[in-house]
Structure 1
Amino acid sequence: MPRDIHPDALALVRHFEGLYLKAYLCPAGVPTIGYGHTAGVRMGQTINGLQAEVFLRADMAEAARDVDRLVKVPLTDRQRGALASFVFNLGAGALQTSTLLRLLNQGDYAGAAGQFGRWVFATVNGEKVQLPGLVKRRAAEKALFETA
């Protein structure tokens, strides 16, 4: 039976993504709606809060499947949720090639938790910059990961 996404992880993503009922272009130029949903979104599209929640749960379930595929050690529901938020935001490829995953799969949970803070940069106008929103999000993901 598939595991549900921990409510704290859903709340974290809701908080950091924000709710947009009308499609907009994210900083990367991708049409986005709801809580950061991008699949099949077209500009001019509108949804309601229920549809945003449906999209969020489906997107987070997909991210959690990626986590389940990549992580080879046992995870609590909160750890899994924190990693699903990370994948939702950065993509499975980021986790797959990360030191975070390598340390985690070696059983070094504390070392893995310490890696969240490295993922706070974005390329803006061709320059790598630290984004305050990502600093806060990674800190929240780390805190969730470290909560038993």
Structure 2
Amino acid sequence: MDNVKATAYIRRYEGFSRLPYKCPTGHLTIGYGHNLEHGISASAALFILQEDLAHAERAVKDSFPWWWKLDDARQFVLVDMAFNMGLAGLKSFKKMLSAVEQGDYQTAAKEMLASKWAAQVGRRAVENARMMETGKWI
């Protein structure tokens, strides 16, 4: 089978939907007619993760002009928090963000751990706080 022709044909008739919808038979569908009840492959999930991570990184870069001054690990902590709880959730950490901007990473880490978010995500928050405080990847 010619995969290029087959893909073009199906794309033409299925159309693209970036948001889930119910197809005429009532199945939850996304993309080019992908039935979500069948799940997705690990490779598709990894691709989506990479897309979502890039989206979170762009949002953080655009929101905090001082982000560029941070080392790689601290940049990642902010991106991970935005990925996990959305940009609005990250922006709600006003004291933490102020401390990060001022280079007071110890206070930033303490603010992270003293949050409802930390209680919800547990080890992830502990590791993010450690990376924020030290500037080193875990």
Q: TM-score range by the shorter chain?
A: 0.5 to 0.7
Number of corresponding residues: 101
Q: Is residue 141 of structure 1 aligned with residue 120 of structure 2?
A: no
Please state if 1:50 is matched with 2:29: no
- 2:19 and 2:115 map into 1 onto residues whose CA distance is 27
Q: Is there any run of 5+ residues in structure 1 with no aligned partner, and where?
A: 1-38, 123-129
**Equivalence for 1:82:** 77
Answer yes or no: is the 8 Å Cα contact 2:71–2:135 preserved in 1.
Answer: no
The Cα offsets for residues 124-148 of structure 1, whole Å up to 9 and x where unpaired, read as xxxxxx43xx121111212233333
> 2:57 corresponds to which residue?
64
TM-score for both structures, normalised by structure 2:
0.61
- Structure with higher Rg: it is 2
* Identical-pair percentage: 24
Q: For residues 127 and 83 of structure 2, what CA distance do their matches in structure 1 show? A: 14
- Which position in structure 1 is the counterpart of 2:15? none
Mark the CA change 1:76 to 1:45 in structure 2 (over 3 Å): closer, same or farther. farther
Partner Cα separation in structure 2 for residue 80 and residue 95 of structure 1: 13
Q: Kindly report which structure 2 residues correspond to 1:1-148, keeping only aligned pairs within 5 A, or say none.
A: 40=19, 42=28, 44-73=37-66, 74-98=69-93, 99-121=95-117, 130-131=119-120, 134-145=121-132, 146-148=134-136
Alpha-carbon contact 1:78-1:147 (below 8 Å) kept:
yes
Q: TM-score scaled by structure 1? A: 0.58
Cα RMSD for the two superposed structures = 2.4
Per-residue deviation, residues 27-52 of structure 1 (Å, max 9, x unmatched) = xxxxxxxxxxxx73555251111111
Higher relative contact order (CA 8 A, sep 6+): 1
Q: Give the partner amino acid of 2:122.
A: V
1:102-135 Cα offsets, whole Å, 9 max, x none, are 221233222212222133359xxxxxxx43xx12
Q: Which runs of 5+ in 2 are unaligned?
A: 1-17, 21-27, 29-35
